[in-house]
Structure 1
Amino acid sequence: MINASSRLGTLVTIAVLFVFGTQGRAQEQTYPIDCAILLCLSGGWPASAPCAKARAEFIRRITPWPVEPPLQIWRCPMHAALEDPDPALRLRRIAEISSTRPWSITPEPETLHPAQAVGLGADIDVSGKAFDFIRSIDVFHVQARQHESGETGDCNSYKHVRHGTYDATGQFRWSLINRPVVPPVFQGLEHYGEHCPTLWVRSVFVDWEDSEGRYGFEQVDY
């Protein structure tokens, strides 16, 4: 028996292919990029030109500097699709909305505040399980150095990690991690704290799960 999340993922994938797959180059700019990111991420980034463009923008936003929220849901007007009870049909209607509709406020410039909300939430209720894929997005901005002191042989180490998450409204927030922990697939900190090997890491890492729970990630070193 197909579970609800699997059915949603299948329907969203179909919606992506039908809504975006047959559009020509002249039509590709008729939808807000964040609606495409929302739709394509939910469907597991199906193979299509618009989803490839949406994923490229998703990754570009975490490429310093500044580090932006990869999904800026306040830029996708979803209220017009509210009357559709089926989440997949709602997302399909989102994809058909013209980008000529007004956007919400522009996110604030990048700062180093320990806690910071960026942009706004969605213009509809996205707190239900159908939108869990939004809250699965995690962004880690990692800066770390480690080396031995030439004079004393002491180990000098430093690690600073900011964690970006989405709340129940779809709003993005930065926070500092008191005990910096990054996902196991993150590369660069494998030997941090062990016998003081020299390392210098500056990276932004994003991971997520689509509507079927499939895991994905990207790491950008700089």
Structure 2
Amino acid sequence: MRQLIKKLLPSVAVALTVTSSSLPIPARAQTYPIDCAILLCLSGGWPASVPCSGARAEFIRRITPWPVEAPLQIWRCPMGASFKTAPAANSADRIFEVFFQNNSTEPRQSFPVHDIADPIAAPGRIPEAPDYLVHADQALRLVQDRADIDISGPEFNFVRSIRVFDVRYARQHESGRDGDCNRSATVVQGSYGTQGDFAWQRSSIAALPAEHAGLERWGQNCPVIYNRSVFVDWRDYEGNYGFEQLNY
């Protein structure tokens, strides 16, 4: 799989360039081909190449506050043409066939037309009560569209493996003469559904992957801890683990 990706990357780069230059002017502004590159490069474990370096940079930029976005916006990569042919016998081939079909489908918007606000609004200051950041009616809310083909098969499990943990506020410290330990935190997790739809939901410090740094002593006695970070992890097509953390 990885060797095949390395061989195809130059062709993919050309295909994306041609697609971008042939789009009508309004569609060209969407710059959706970068998500086709993210999809392909992520599946292969980010192989070293110019297209994949740019794709990974955009992947990370999208989780750099504020706002925190879905790192892969698969609805911006039109793949509907794959419905025109029979499914490939090799599931790995299916990932590539979607890039080399003629497709007149226009790119989709990043956010629904009637709801462009940040799905979990972030105020200008850090509140004392962490629940202020995530209202009850926004605890689980679909905020993006989905892939325009069926990606429910195991060859696209790498898409559903992506998790985004937004530690918006985590603080632990002693207060008062009694030495009480005050802890408060707001953590939300973004994840992908069966068809690549992205949603946020409430999470917790306990749900953070072991690779997250900065909260290792949370709940142990009461050392002073303060952390705000975004952590994204994933597994590529072969199941290899990767992650990035941004502190702010």
- TM-score class, shorter: 0.7 to 0.9
Cα separation, partners in 2 of 1:188 and 1:102, compared to 1, 3 Å: same
Is 1:110 matched with 2:118? Answer: yes
Q: Work out whether residues 75 and 104 of structure 1, in 8 Å CA contact, stay in contact via their aligned partners in 2.
A: yes
Identify if the C-alpha distance between structure 1 residues 115 and 213 changes in structure 2 by more than 3 Å, giving closer, same or farther. Answer: same
1:205 to 224, 227, 231: 231
Q: Residue 164 of structure 1: CA displacement? A: 1.0
- The alignment of Structure 1 onto Structure 2 pairs a total of residues equal to 213
- Is contact 1:140–1:164 with CA below 8 Å preserved after alignment? yes
Cα deviation for residue 116 of structure 1 reads 1.7
Question: Partners in 1 of 2:140 and 2:58 — Cα distance?
Answer: 25
SS of structure 2 residue aligned to 1:202: strand
CA contact (8 A) 2:73 2:110 kept: no
Distance 2:102 2:82 in 1: 12
> What do the CA deviations read for 1:146-169 (whole angstroms, capped 9, x no partner)?
111144321111122111111111
CA distance in 1: counterparts of 2:221 and 2:204, whole angstroms? 23
SS at match of 1:71: coil
CA distance in 2, matches of 1:72, 1:124: 14
Structure 1 match to 2:8: 15
RMSD (Å), alpha carbons:
2.6
- Alignment of 1:79 onto 2:92: no
User: Where in structure 2 are the equivalents of 1:64-213 lying within 5 Å?
Assistant: 64-82=65-83, 83=85, 85=88, 86-96=90-100, 102-107=106-111, 108-112=116-120, 113-142=138-167, 143-177=169-203, 180-213=206-239
Deviation at 1:27, TM superposition (A): 6.3
Partner of 1:51: 52
**Aligned to 1:162, what secondary structure does the other structure show?**
strand
- The residue aligned with 1:39 is 40
TM norm structure 2: 0.77
Compute the displacement of 1:97 (Å). Answer: 6.8
Look up the equivalent residue of 1:102 and give its one-letter code. E
Q: 1:92–1:114: structure 2 CA closer, same or farther, 3 Å change rule? A: same
Q: Using structure 1 for the length normalisation, give the TM-score.
A: 0.85
Q: Quick one: structure 1 residues 155 and 43, their matched pair in 2 at CA, closer, same or farther if it must change by over 3 Å?
A: same
Q: Structure 1 regions of 5+ residues with no counterpart?
A: 1-7
Deviation at residue 95 of structure 1 after TM alignment: 3.6
Q: Distance in 2 between matches of 1:152 and 1:28?
A: 66
51-60 or 94-103: which moved more?
Answer: 94-103
8 Å CA contact retained: 1:159, 1:180: no
CA distance in structure 2 between the partners assigned to 1:198 and 1:97 by the alignment: 56
Give the residue type in structure 1 aligned to 2:52: C
The Cα shift of 1:87 comes to 4.2
Partners of 2:119 and 2:143 within 8 A in 1: no
Q: Quick check: 2:190–2:200 contact (8 Å CA) kept in 1? A: yes
Q: Which has the higher contact order (CA 8 A, sep 6+)?
A: 1
For residue 207 of structure 2, give the secondary structure of its aligned residue in structure 1: coil
**What is the deviation of 1:195?**
1.6
Q: Tell me the CA shift for residue 57 of structure 1.
A: 0.4
Alpha-carbon shift at residue 78 of structure 1 (Å): 0.5
Contact 1:146 1:199 in 2 (8 A): yes
Q: Quote the offset at 1:101 in angstroms.
A: 5.3
The letter for the 2-side match of 1:191 is R
Q: Percent identity?
A: 49
Point out where structure 2 has 5 or more consecutive residues left out of the alignment.
Answer: 22-31, 121-137
> In 2, are the aligned partners of 1:36 and 1:95 still within 8 Å (CA)?
no
2:102, 2:143 → 1: CA distance?
Answer: 24
